[in-house]
Structure 1
């Protein structure tokens, strides 16, 4: 097993999702039990499902200097990076360390494919319309290129696309880069937006629920897709008030393109890696934000891992009933929710779960609970068995 790592400081973070823009909106929605899911009003062709849509995104626009990057995904990135003063804090860190000592690690699943869809729907003969001939929006690396222009970083700039674990894995990348001396800080960005390819693609796999998703409920029948953007600034050193990333674990099932290993082998390995790097046992964990997609097999397998590994005192829940499954942005959004749980001292319930599946243990919290959360884990499991578990600690736990 891996050796414990030195914690890295999470100096700033923010998220924008169907729950609202910035931390205050997320705090409020979580404490009030208010879901961001509603009936699909995004697709022109009817699709009976619920979605987690970011309000006001259609009216948002990029500054003129960045017009070449215009697309829904980059608009969401811009809307989110300005929340909670994150852009100013990120630029201050770049000034403090030097632009070449700060990494920019982006993550996405579909990137700006929605703009590519629009271009093909409006072909000019056999060519894209002139307004769509912008190479910067027809690449999975679009958010990385765009944010590098916004921030002015000159350190490593990478975009990770490992399906639903994408923006969890960038935390692990940041820790490795900082520990190895490649950089002193990293700006992490996870962004994914609604598009037809995702909604109808998942529907063709019979994975989209007709109603808001019900994680771990015996009646669950599929996911609700959402969109979100999250940002985090991680540094080698920081304030005593900063939360910490204390561990991470990654694994690959290599079992099936869309189905997890039946015994949760990959999930178990990711969990064990995170605990080992944090120098913890399972008994030290207070809360787990589960991947919990509300598909029958994913929830069954993950619930089994939790029952086997953790005692009944540990609390666990899925937040996808609040936000929907935000795909490549899920890892960082759910990390932010885990950090809110630490900060607020509460466990967000598993929204829409009313009849808990018998495969679940007592760890699954159905309703919000007050709790002393010192250590929190966040699980993210992607298509193809690309898994990641992150371990976070309250400031004084370092």
Structure 2
């Protein structure tokens, strides 16, 4: 199993905060126990009065520094709660390379919309927006600008918003930027916070479950939405763990604005590109973290696509533990992959109601470890057929 010896992309650090928690101990325990108490029922967010389950961050979020108050939003405070976990590593990179040689590429789909909803509510009640509200907090580039200003960076800075593949595409962009020697390190990741806009939007698409989601179950009926922030620092500098981004592949089948191609054409292409980019064979993959949204169409498509590329690879979706975190989903599942590789965790069991659909994949039903010298592939598939597959593993010496 090899990658280009000239350009290994090592993961220097990872910060992660979701319904799985934010501390290493908490994340590992919830993965092992197959449950997250922060997957909670809410009954006051949907316009039709129905309840649903969301992955909620319940920990107190840090306040932004005073000089960055113009960025103050729940989304950026959530981002900061994960950024503080990699703060020292980023500072070391800045001291080593210079602040103009560190880039920021962030994926998001909601940005500060939840604060905009609150501001609009205040407008309706009082006739004016809150004094601290500014529409720029809702702009998709706002989280990337916040991260850049927080670290006083002068390198490239931008956001990617391709719905649920947003924070997966940042890895592909960062890899290209590092290989082109435009920068020496890149802060990548994704952040999205809960808001009524997306919850009601998915409800209107009949894609939102009113109970806990059931990936790959014959009773699956939709997603649970979650909120999360996950960030990594990437560079060519070798780490002790040697955990690296081995490959990335993308595609856009543009089959339908919201439904995946039933034959998984785009998913197959993305996974194949990722394998080629990593210079790996399908047999080198020891675990697939599936997109696994628990919608009837996605799970059927993804199962078919996986079976056409891989043979008997363990598969599970971790969305019952985090919710579908939308623009942050790829980064969240990349962070889970990083934890598995870095700390030799057991592979996540597939959580559902136990009534597995007749799908051509090997779901993980009891704890097992990643086989030696095997890599992890993580899928994220978005509206419009925008697909991304990432491969993480150990870079060879």
TM-score range, shorter chain: over 0.9
Of 81, 84, 90, which aligns to 1:82? 84
Could you say what secondary structure the match of 1:20 adopts?
A: coil
| Counterpart position of 2:155 | 155
Give me the whole-angstrom Cα distance separating, in 2, the residues matched to 1:12 and 1:174.
15
Give the conservation status (yes or no) of the 8 Å contact 2:122–2:130: no
- What residue is the counterpart of 2:227 in the other structure? 227
Count, aligned residues: 390
Q: For residue 53 of structure 1, what is the aligned residue in structure 2? A: 56
What SS does structure 2 have at the residue aligned with 1:288? strand
2:357 is aligned to 357
Tell me if structure 1 keeps the 8 A contact 2:145–2:158.
Answer: no
Stretches of structure 1 lacking an aligned partner (at least 5 in a row): none
Q: Does 1:318 find its partner at 2:320?
A: no
* Structure 2 residue aligned with 1:70: 72
Structure 2: distance between partners of 1:368 and 1:102:
39
Tell me the CA shift for residue 196 of structure 1.
Answer: 0.5
2:245 matched residue in structure 1: 245
| 1:11 and 2:12 correspond | yes
Measured in 2, the distance between the counterparts of 1:195 and 1:42 equals 12
CA shift for structure 1 position 123: 1.9
Q: 1:41 and 1:229, CA in 2 relative to 1: closer, same or farther beyond 3 A? A: farther
User: Structure 1 residues 128 and 186 mapped into 2: Cα distance closer, same or farther (>3 Å)?
Assistant: farther
Q: Following TM superposition, by how much is the alpha carbon of 1:27 offset from its aligned partner in structure 2, in angstroms?
A: 1.2
Separation in 2, partners of 1:27, 1:380: 22
Q: Do the aligned residues in 2 keep the contact of 1:187 with 1:233 (CA within 8 Å)?
A: yes
Q: 1: distance between equivalents of 2:254 and 2:204?
A: 22
The 8 Å contact of residues 172 and 248 in structure 2, kept in 1 or not, is answered as: yes
Match of 1:330 in 2: 329
Deviation of 1:208 after TM superposition, in Å, equals 0.7
Does the 8 A contact of 1:354 with 1:366 survive in 2?
no
The aligned counterpart of 1:274 is 274
Q: Distance in 1 between matches of 2:334 and 2:353?
A: 21
TM-score, normalised to structure 1's length? Answer: 0.93
Runs (5+) with no aligned partner, structure 2 = none
SS in structure 2 at match of 1:153? coil
CA deviation vs aligned residue, 1:185-227 (integer Å, no higher than 9, x gap)? 1011310000000111111111111111010011000000000
User: 1-side partners of 2:250 and 2:128: how far apart?
Assistant: 39
Mapped contact 1:214–1:294 kept (Cα < 8 A): yes
**Corresponding position of 1:31:** 32
* CA 106–248 in structure 1, closer or farther in 2 if over 3 Å, else same: same
Matches within 5 A, 1:160-171: 160-171=160-171
* Match in the other structure for 1:254: 254
Q: Hey, what's the Cα distance between the residues in 1 that align with 2:11 and 2:261?
A: 32
Structure 1 residues 178 and 371, CA, compared in 2 at 3 Å: closer, same or farther? closer
TM-score, with normalisation over the residues of structure 2?
A: 0.93
Distance 2:356 2:319 in 1: 15
